[in-house]
Amino acid sequence: MQLCLRPTPLKPGDRLWVTMPSGPLRDPDPFHKGIEMWRDRGYQIDLSPSYKQQWAYLAGTDPKRRASLEQGLRDQRYRAILCGRGGYGGARLLETWKWPAVPEKWLIGFSDITSLLWSLAQTGISGVHGPVLTTLAQEPDWSVQRLFDWVEGRAIAPLKGAGWGGGRTTGKLLPANLTVATHLLGTAVQPDLSGVILAFEDVGEAPYRIDRMLTQWRMTGALQSIRGIALGRFSDCENPGEETVTETLRDRIGDLGIPIVADLPFGHQGANAALPVGVMAHLDGNQGSLEIDST
C-alpha cells in the first residue's frame, strides 16, 4: 500500500490559484466570501480569468476548464489550487489528459472534485477533501481551523461519529462523494482499493439510488479488499415512505465484517471537516472515531 505525498505546508504570503473545474458560479457572494477568508489568513489569491464562464451546466467548455486547471499547476508561483465549487464536470477533464509533471501542489475541494482528487492521488500526491470556496464561509470555526491546520502542516483532531462495530483498523484514506466515486468504478481513475478506508458522503440521492450504487460496488467486487468505511452526511436523501438512508446503508454494507463509523461531520449542508486523500488513517468502529496520521 503506497501512501500519497503530502505537499509542502502552505504559509501566509503564498500565492494560490482559483479555478472552476466543474459547475458554473451561480451565487458570487459566498464565493467571494470564501476568497476573502483565505486572504484574511494572509494568502495571495489569483482568480482564473475564466472563472465566470458558463457553458450549459459547466463552467466553460472542457478545453477551457482543463486549461485553467493546468495553468495553476504549471505556474510555479502557485502553491495550491482552490476549487470554486463542485457541481458536475470534473471527470470530463480527465478523459484525454494527464497530470503535468510539476512539483506537488495542494488541491482542495469536495463533491464533484472527488474525480480530480482520486486521479491526483494516483500520481502519488495527496489533496484535501474539504470546503470549496462557495461553502467555506458557512463552515463552523473549528472546521475552518482544521482545514488551515492541515494545509499549514499541523496535526488535526480525530473525528467522532457513531460506531457500527467491527473493531479497529488502519488503512489509506480515500474520501469521496459516493455518486462521483461510483461512476469512477472500472475507469482508469479508479484507484487500487486494497487496504483502503473509504469515506463517503452524498446529497440529494434517494435511498433506492444509494442502494443501487452500493449494490454496484458489491457486484464489482470493489468492497472485497477494503479495510473500513467512514460515513459522513447524506443530506436531502430521505424519501417519505421509503427506507431511511441509515437503514439502506446498514443493509448494503453492514454485513461486510469491517469497521464502520457513521454520522461523521463531513459532507454537504453542514460542517465539512477536511479529510486528506491517500494518507494513513485509523478507524475505530467500536469507539466511533476516525483519526488521521499526521506523520
Q: What amino acid occupies position 234?
A: F
Percentages (nearest 5) of helix, strand, coil residues in the chain = 30, 25, 50
Distances (CA, A) of 36 to 44, 86, 94, 138, 253: 10, 19, 30, 13, 41
Query: Is 32 a residue of the active site?
Result: no
Q: How far apart are CA 110 and CA 119, in angstroms?
A: 13
227-257 burial, b for 16+ CB within 10 Å, e for fewer?
Answer: bbbbbbbbbebeeeeebebbebbeebbeeee
**Residue 149: HSE in the Cβ half-sphere, 13 Å Cα cutoff:** 15
Cβ–Cβ contacts within 10 Å for residue 268, how many? 20
- Exactly one of 22, 205, 268, 282 is catalytic; which is it? 268
Query: Is 235 a residue of the active site?
Result: no
Q: What are phi and psi of 285, to 5 degrees?
A: -75, -15
Cβ–Cβ contacts within 10 Å for residue 207, how many? 21
Query: Is 50 a residue of the active site?
Result: no
- Exactly one of 201, 205, 289, 291 is catalytic; which is it? 201
What residues have CB less than 8 Å from 40, skipping those under 6 apart? none
Distances (CA, A) of 275 to 64, 119, 226, 242, 271: 29, 16, 18, 31, 12
Q: How far apart are CA 187 and CA 94, in angstroms?
A: 11
Q: How far is CA 80 from the centre of its chain?
A: 15
- Exactly one of 111, 115, 119, 143 is catalytic; which is it? 111
Residues identified as active-site: 111, 201, 268
